[in-house]
Amino acid sequence: MNGRGRIIFHIDMNSFYASVEQAYHPELKGKPVAIAGNPSERKGILVTCSYEARAKGIFTTMAVWEAKRQCPNLIVLPPNFERYRHASKAMFDILRSYTDLVEPVSIDEGYVDVTEIAHGIEAIQLAKMIQTRILHELDLPCSIGIAPNKFLAKTASDMKKPMGITILRKRDVEKMLWHLPVIEMHGVGSSTSNKLKEIGIATIGDLARSEDYLLKANLGKNGLRLKNRAQGIDQREVDPNSIYDTKSVGHSMTFPSDLMILSELQTAIEELCMRVAKRLDAKKLAGHTVSILFRDADWHNYTRSKTSQNAIFKKKDIEVIALSLIEKHWNGNPVRLLGVTVSNVVDQSDTVEQLSLFTYEKYAKEEPIRKVVEELQYKFGKDMITKGIKHAKKPTYESKTSFSKDFLDDHRERG
């Protein structure tokens, strides 16, 4: 693959949480290991499991009690988040020892653009070198996909696990991917897959050969984007600065027993909104869209959202929308999981409140003061007077969006 086009690696750590535990506790190697949020309660769902556990029919999202019944000698451990963050940082440090063009996308995976450093060395040799270093220095297995773009690299890394290295060229897409069901394509979830099936698209090949107008009419711009991916086309760059892009802040809870009545859901929504508001405030963010997610006892997920004209971050504002959504869309079925997310976020200092009949009077009263402030800022500089005092908040639990995203803070601190 040298000499022409880009060379992108996708590094995917294998059974990351379980592998880290086996690295710290060698006596666990070769044994079925699983990580669960709370092994003692019903809400204990497996976050990940070792390949030894998978060989016995254990899989991620399985309930602890079910997994124990399937595999009585399964070793179930609680998560050690700081340990996983430390291992993740060490892994990305190894990647950055080769190039700065490293883009973390989650705690256990990332892209590396090796185009410039792969000259004079075969890409597969470089991949083996990286894979061996991660294994020998951290005692952690990984799979690596090699391709001319991010989509194909991600697809390739999934093809052989654990400890696989797979090359996927654009010219191989038709032979290797087009016969697969469209649900197996990276970026296509069950909802999108169902929409595609409704218009006669069942395989990745069907998607690649489909008409643009049909995709745009049913899926918008995302339909055209998916068609390009199905054809092996992906122009996205490996962007190390993407770690600074926070797109949403949310929180969810799985309940020990199903919620059956509206008042219970409302109480849970209020708690979730409080947590989301604290995190938004800690991150100095506000968002336009509020979404709720609820999962029923049969594991069916429902997501509903509403977009506000003004960017919001206060608990009461988030709560008004979230409560209206649950009251309107809850179908009465028992709820085992509930979540609230604020997305389309911007910096709080960049928010502009749209004038309304209710806010106009407030602005009218402030106008004389505003003019004086503007005159002083013009004369002495904008930093002379600011509205309120901005304190740089220390990182706290409230500032965290979710553990899978919090690891990005480790990469931001490098600068």
387 three-class SS: coil
Q: Which residue is catalytic, options 21, 103, 109, 319?
A: 109
Contact 276, 318 (CB under 8 A): yes
Q: What values do phi and psi take at 208, rounded to 5?
A: -65, -30
245 is in an annotated binding site: no
145: exposed, middle or buried (C-beta count within 10 Å: 0-12, 13-18, 19+)?
buried
Strands 109-113 and 248-259: unpaired
Strand order in the sheet with 142-147: 102-106, 109-113, 8-13, 142-147, 165-167
- CA dist 344 → 237, 243, 276, 308, 315 (Å): 22, 16, 14, 10, 17
410 is in an annotated binding site: no
Per the annotation, the verdict on 21 as an active-site residue is no
DSSP 58-78: --TT-BHHHHHHH-TT-EEE-
29: exposed, middle or buried (C-beta count within 10 Å: 0-12, 13-18, 19+)?
middle
From the list 23, 18, 16, the residue with the least C-alpha distance to 33 is 18
Structure tokens that stand for 407 in this block: 């690891």
Check residue 341 and report its DSSP letter. E
- CA dist 246 → 137, 249, 390, 404, 405 (Å): 31, 8, 20, 12, 9
Catalytic residues: 109
As annotated, the binding site includes 12, 108
Q: Show binding-site residues for Mg(2+).
A: 12, 108
